[in-house]
Structure 1
Amino acid sequence: MTTPDSPLTVYGNPLSTCTRRVLFALREKGVPYELVAVDLRAGEHKSPEFLKLQPFGQIPVLQDGTFTLFESRAICRYIERKYRGHGTSLIPEGAKEAGIVDEWCSVEQAIFDPPCSGLVSELLFKKSRGLEHDPLRARVLVRQLEEVMDVYERHLSDGKEYLAGEFSLADLFHAPYGVYLAPVGLLPILTTPSRPHVKAWWERLVARKAWREVEET
């Protein structure tokens, strides 16, 4: 077990969904970190200095001494592996149990995230940039996300509190984009009483102390 000592450095933005994903993992693990704010509006993420850290000009980026890593889900896995045994376990040790976590991490990235992040981009991020959204695309994405959550409801209906049984990265990865459904009036997709198990799972997830701390950052 590696004991946290000197803080890790996270280059990102406290309102960025992917930055929040990393901060959520760090707080669950109890790992100290320094958040270095990257001004996206000023284009700092496209500066020559930043592109040396992240060649695609995206956030977040993690620096651990001389080691640099980007892509939020990869960073979260690195944090769990380095600090295994410290704080909350985010990937179980058993091969089968870890396989189920990986399965639902893949579901989040390939099946949940596209319609959810698409809606946030279409209805929130475009508006913040003064762009018109596409109502037809938004309706299609809503329907897709509703269908995804119907599957989640069936999966959780056997009494599991979290997607893989215990809290893990599979759940954590959902929070950053899911909460941004609220400002566009679509949070009921996750909280409708017609999907009571999804509602309980979601409310349990965002009530975690680590996530509340991230939202206060």
Structure 2
Amino acid sequence: MADPVHLHGYRYSVYNRVARLALLLKKVEHQTIEVNPFAELSEAYLMLHPFGRVPVLTHGAFKLFETSAITRYVDRAFKGRALQPETAAALARMDQVIAAIDAYAYWPMVRQVASHAFFRPYFGEQSSREEVDAGLEASKTVLAFLDVVAGEGEVLTGRDITLADCHLAPMMDYFVRAEEGKAALSPHLALQRWWDRVSVLDILRVTDPFATQTASK
């Protein structure tokens, strides 16, 4: 009997969704366990993640946190389609894209633009126009960089899905739910083509945390 796989995460977390995309692409049977990192966390969870964030993957007795480590482990540990390129150049580009997304895309695209132009208004919470504007300004450089990568053809092609696609797609999904984010993406033609291909994939639909709420409205 195979060791059970559990993903502990928050349904609205882009990083939880990144890990779920990798698991689904590898067709790994797993159970999701909801953990709200903004609530008081149990001692048991802090034993899994001493920094109190999400996600955490457990595979039998093996425990792992940090999303990039989780997705690389999933690709190496389970059979199925490879989610990392074979050539040194493409693999390096994938690693660079993931690092750049974490360093330069997550905060402005998700925590500023998406949070204040989509997420907070959706839940009736107070938002800040200044945060949206600051996020849009800060997003310009990373969108331009990702557009160059998408045009290069090594990764972010929207055809041969890699861990770079898994990492970017949840953040882009939130970003373009804001009209301002959608407008900011559109001039970047290669990146827009990538998103047009990726956004219709079934794995994006089944991991959409807002799908149930939208359907019930």
TM range (shorter): 0.7 to 0.9
Structure 1 range deviating more: 21-30 or 46-55: 46-55
Compared CA separation, residues 95 and 53, structure 1 to 2 (3 A): same
Deviation at 1:93, TM superposition (A): 3.3
- The correspondence for 2:171, drawn from 149, 173, 177, is 177
Q: What residue number does 1:60 align with?
A: 55
State the alpha-carbon separation in 2 of the partners of residues 199 and 109 from structure 1: 20
Compared CA separation, residues 129 and 53, structure 1 to 2 (3 A): farther
Contact 1:104 1:164 in 2 (8 A): no
Q: What residue number does 1:14 align with?
A: 11
Matches within 5 A, 1:42-57: 43=39, 46-57=41-52
State the alpha-carbon separation in 2 of the partners of residues 99 and 161 from structure 1: 10
State the alpha-carbon separation in 2 of the partners of residues 158 and 93 from structure 1: 16
Q: What residue number does 2:215 align with?
A: none
- The correspondence for 1:145, drawn from 121, 139, 148, is 139
Instruction: Let me know the Cα RMSD of the aligned residues.
Output: 2.9
Compared CA separation, residues 155 and 40, structure 1 to 2 (3 A): closer
State the alpha-carbon separation in 1 of the partners of residues 47 and 164 from structure 2: 30
Q: What residue number does 1:156 align with?
A: 150
Q: Does 1:32 align with 2:25?
A: no
Deviation at 1:156, TM superposition (A): 3.0
State the alpha-carbon separation in 1 of the partners of residues 74 and 60 from structure 2: 14
Q: What residue number does 1:69 align with?
A: 64
- The correspondence for 1:202, drawn from 195, 201, 205, is 195
State the alpha-carbon separation in 2 of the partners of residues 134 and 15 from structure 1: 20
State the alpha-carbon separation in 2 of the partners of residues 5 and 206 from structure 1: 32
Deviation at 1:107, TM superposition (A): 1.8
State the alpha-carbon separation in 1 of the partners of residues 15 and 130 from structure 2: 26
1:140-177 CA-to-partner distances (Å, cap 9, x unmatched) read 21022133223333443356672598421112101122
Runs of 5+ consecutive residues of structure 1 not aligned to the other structure: none
User: When the two structures are aligned, how many residues end up with a matched partner?
Assistant: 209
- The correspondence for 2:127, drawn from 107, 130, 133, is 133
- Residue identity over aligned pairs, in percent, reads 25
Deviation at 1:102, TM superposition (A): 1.0
SS in 2 for 1:162: coil
State the alpha-carbon separation in 2 of the partners of residues 163 and 112 from structure 1: 18
Runs of 5+ consecutive residues of structure 2 not aligned to the other structure: 213-217
1:17-73 CA-to-partner distances (Å, cap 9, x unmatched) read 2211111000011111011122557x35x1222111111222211111111111222
State the alpha-carbon separation in 1 of the partners of residues 195 and 150 from structure 2: 11
Contact 1:172 1:205 in 2 (8 A): no
Deviation at 1:109, TM superposition (A): 1.5
- The correspondence for 1:78, drawn from 62, 73, 78, is 73
Q: TM-score, normalised by structure 1?
A: 0.81
Q: Which amino acid is the alignment partner of residue 11 of structure 1?
A: H
SS in 1 for 2:6: strand
Contact 2:4 2:60 in 1 (8 A): no
Q: Which amino acid is the alignment partner of residue 66 of structure 1?
A: A
